[in-house]
Amino acid sequence: MKKIVSILSVFFVFVIINSCGSSKEGGGFNLFSVEDDKELGKQVAQEIDSNPAEYPVLDSAKNVQAYTYLYDIRNRILNSGQVNYKDEFAWRLRIIHDDNQLNAFCAPGGYIYVYTGLIKYLDSEDALAGVLAHEIAHADYRHSTRQMTKVYGVQVLLDFLAGDRQMIKELTAGIIGLRFSRSHETEADAASVRYLCGTDYYAAGGAKFFEKIEAEGGASVPEWLSTHPSPGNRIENFHDQAIERGCGGNQEHKERYQKLINALP
Ligand SMILES: [Zn+2]
């Protein structure tokens, strides 16, 4: 009995330590530690990179121009001084060659993926910077592992820690299709503006994706977006944040952006 009590108390201490986290992180209980985020992200990235049939990742050695361009945007975001885990997380970028996907996602620990379909859909660099900043925020606020804690519970963490390969496969698919809560999406949108506020970009660039979707009558809303909050609310939130913060950037870098699109296969 004594042993059970001590095991339980260790578990609760673990829970309390983890649930405190950094006050800058997003809300919601998280069973995963920061180290778990890094390890899980690394394994998810390995799973994606070793499965080109399902995830046709563009070779960074053969697509130097496109990757240099994306890393340049990434660096501006990381150098905003606003990213909590700037030095701890990988912040590795990969482009997935699928023109039909209007999507981007970021695995825990900063493994960012963006589809060619999304890059080609957008019209300007500030819009892409807004999306990348939003995805970086999901990882930086550790939203994925919070959401997984909520959806899958403690068993997923135990299976992951036990090195269950099948579980990594399922988690990879889960992370790509993960639906965040309304508060996590709102938090990532606000962070996107905060990250871009010190750059020359229009800081609410992230709104442009939703504005284009709305202008087209919302018909092409990808499934991952057909959830709350509504595009209209998100657009308003982006612009309000930029006004409240007094962000002065207004550059779209449209010409430069066309060069990125032209550099893609
Ligand atoms: Zn999101």
pLDDT tens digits for 107-126?
A: 999 999 999 999 999 999 99
Give 231 Cα–ligand 1 centroid separation in angstroms.
Answer: 12
Give 241 Cα–ligand 1 centroid separation in angstroms.
Answer: 16
Q: Which of 5-14, 61-70, 215-224 has the lowest mean pLDDT?
A: 5-14
**Residues of the chain with pLDDT > 70: what percent?**
86
Give 138 Cα–ligand 1 centroid separation in angstroms.
Answer: 7
Is this prediction's pTM over 0.95?
A: no
Give 170 Cα–ligand 1 centroid separation in angstroms.
Answer: 20
Type and span of the H or E element at 25: none
Q: Per residue in 6-24, pLDDT tens? A: 444 444 434 433 443 444 5
The pLDDT assigned to 178 comes to: 81
- The residue among 103, 129, 98 whose CA lies nearest residue 118 is 103
The pLDDT assigned to 19 comes to: 41
- The residue among 69, 65, 186, 198 whose CA lies nearest residue 125 is 69
Give 22 Cα–ligand 1 centroid separation in angstroms.
Answer: 20
Give 78 Cα–ligand 1 centroid separation in angstroms.
Answer: 18
Identify any residues that bridge with 106 across adjacent strands, giving them in sequence order: 112
Query: Cα(first)–Cα(last) distance of the chain, in Å?
Result: 64
Confidence of residue 223 (pLDDT cuts 50, 70, 90): low
Q: 161 or 69: whose pLDDT is higher?
A: 69
In this predicted structure, the answer to whether residue 184 has a pLDDT above a threshold of 60 is yes
Give 1 Cα–ligand 1 centroid separation in angstroms.
Answer: 45
